[in-house]
């Protein structure tokens, strides 16, 4: 997330920061402890940590501090007018699930690739789903070139058909269910055709992964 804010090094606890914390299901008691009527600005990480310590927060608890720091940085984004309405595409790393977010299709497909099928039938199911995902990805790329509302509706229905499939292979079915719940982020391109489908222009497209 630091890469997105350029030369700014401050941390800001404002409405955006607290919305971020709420989205991460932070303890309501912690939020009440930190909130104030006006936004709170800290020039750098040191005064931010000093403030947290004064509030009785264990600044050596890495999990808590990581989420609070991400919130402070997101608050800084909004305070300085950074990011704006831009779509942030990520591999689902928590610190990038902010603002208008989209999931990287290359990393989503890799989750299928990482499955460890134990029987020929399971292997076949994984291969079939990877092929379906590759063809769907190809259709999304075509949509990017020629956006069309009717095509968008068709792609949404096609997504539902693919990710509602149940094969009997438990790990695969759980993954399909998980990805299906992230429909909005995986299909961000339908409302914002300029959205990249993956996080790195130098990465190969899904077809290269399927061939490999």
pLDDT class for 168, splitting at 50, 70, 90?
A: very high
Q: Are 139 and 192 in contact (CB under 8 A)?
A: no
Share the mean pLDDT of the chain: 82
More confident residue, 122 or 33: 122
Q: What is the pLDDT of residue 70?
A: 83
Q: Mean of the pLDDT values across residues 55-76? A: 88
pTM of the model: 0.56
Q: Mean of the pLDDT values across residues 81-91? A: 58
Residue whose structure tokens are 């600005």: 41
pLDDT class for 211, splitting at 50, 70, 90?
A: very low
Give the tens place of pLDDT for each residue, 109-163. 888 989 999 999 999 999 999 999 999 999 998 998 999 999 999 999 999 999 9
More confident residue, 207 or 169: 169
Choose the weakest-confidence range: 66-75, 92-101, 138-147. Answer: 92-101
Q: What is the pLDDT of residue 49?
A: 94
How far is CA 95 from its chain centroid? 8
């Amino acid at each position: 997330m630091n890469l997105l804010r350029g030369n700014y090094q401050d941390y800001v606890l404002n409405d955006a920061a607290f919305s971020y914390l709420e989205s991460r299901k932070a303890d309501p008691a912690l939020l009440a402890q930190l909130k104030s009527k006006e936004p709170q600005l800290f020039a750098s990480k040191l005064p931010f940590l000093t403030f947290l310590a004064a509030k009785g927060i264990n600044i050596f608890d890495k999990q808590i501090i990581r989420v609070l720091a991400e919130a402070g940085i997101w608050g800084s984004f909004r305070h300085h007018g950074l990011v704006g309405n831009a779509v942030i595409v990520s591999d689902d790393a928590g610190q990038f699930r902010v603002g208008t977010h989209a999931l990287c299709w290359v990393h989503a497909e890799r989750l299928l690739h990482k499955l460890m099928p134990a029987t020929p039938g399971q292997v076949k199911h994984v291969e079939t789903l990877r092929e379906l995902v590759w063809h769907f990805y190809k259709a999304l790329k075509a949509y990017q070139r020629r956006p069309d509302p009717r095509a968008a509706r068709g792609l949404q229905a096609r997504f539902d058909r693919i990710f509602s499939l149940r094969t009997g292979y438990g790990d695969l079915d759980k993954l399909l269910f998980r990805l299906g719940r992230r429909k909005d982020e995986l299909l961000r391109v339908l409302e914002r055709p300029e959205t990249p489908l993956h996080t790195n222009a130098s990465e190969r497209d899904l077809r290269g992964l399927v061939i490999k």
